[in-house]
Amino acid sequence: MKLTLKIWRQKSPADKGGFQTYQVEANEHMSFLEMLDVLNEELVRRKEEPVAFEHDCREGICGTCSMVIDGQPHGPQAATTACQLHMRHYREGETIVIEPFRARAFPVIKDLVVDRSAFDRIIQAGGYISVNTGQAPDGNSLPVEKDKASLAFEAAACIGCGACVAACPNASAMLFVSAKVSHLGLLPQGEVEADARALQMVRQMDAEGFGRCSNVTACEAECPKQISVENIARLNRAYYRAAIQSDKVV
């Protein structure tokens, strides 16, 4: 199938950038990233600069294939990363607009590549368990309620791709932060540091320049792992409880 691609090209963070139009011929069995590979091979043959985009596992696990396709993070297919989107969902002659995530906290590095290291710094602020538990205990020695284990597992499915930020009109990272706080805080191993974790990660999120959550819930709709906004409510409760107990100003 022949397609028209309108792709955001930006040489560097300081460059103004803009859309450029390309023609590409793709096979319906290709993934979206394989289609971009075909385009880049053609650009290289013409001695032109290939389109920069991130990828790693190409299995919907790593979250690096972050891009906005026709106005939707990761494209039109629900619960699907860009690397798992296939060209059979498009028709002959269609025009596809591809651009990077738009958020102050995710500055564009080049073309479709954005700097998502803000997420790493949020994790460093509290997304871990540091309580000394001695040697690794037997897996069944610490009972965990089935409901809590299921909720923690669902929250832990977050791959940190940033689609929630790109979908939010305020560029909020609340879904990401709440997923990380939930998957640790719901388990007994993470309860000891639960209050400090919520305070520190929210504080770092604000310092990175992410916006406020206004309950639009676009984040949940665009999340490739379907992380629930119930985690945001859980984070809010944990944050306010921790702020009151620690006499912090909210």
Per-residue pLDDT of 79-134, as tens digits, reads 999 999 999 999 999 999 999 999 999 999 999 999 999 999 999 999 998 877 67
What are the chain's domains? 2-109 (3.10.20.30), 117-245 (1.10.1060.10)
Range of weakest confidence among 10-24, 118-132, 201-215: 118-132
CA–CA distances in Å: residue 109 to residues 1, 17, 99, 134, 241: 31, 11, 12, 42, 38
Q: Which two tokens stand for residue 126?
A: 């509290």
Question: Which whole number is the average pLDDT over 224-250?
Answer: 87
Distance CA 18, CA 10 (A): 7
Q: What are the pLDDT digits (tens) for 129-169?
A: 887 767 776 767 778 899 999 999 999 999 999 999 999 99
Distance between CA atoms of residues 249 and 155, nearest Å = 28
Q: What separation in angstroms does the CA of 53 have from each of 19, 100, 109, 177? A: 15, 9, 10, 25
Evaluate if pTM is beyond 0.85.
Answer: yes
Q: Which pLDDT value is given to residue 189?
A: 85
Q: How does residue 250 score in pLDDT terms, banded at 50, 70 and 90?
A: very low
Of all residues in the chain, the percent with pLDDT exceeding 90 is 85
Which has the closest alpha carbon to 17: 33, 6, 28? 6
Residue 221 is predicted with a pLDDT of 97
Give the CA count within 13 Å in the CB-facing half-sphere of 48.
12
Joined together, the tokens standing for residue 79 give 């619960």
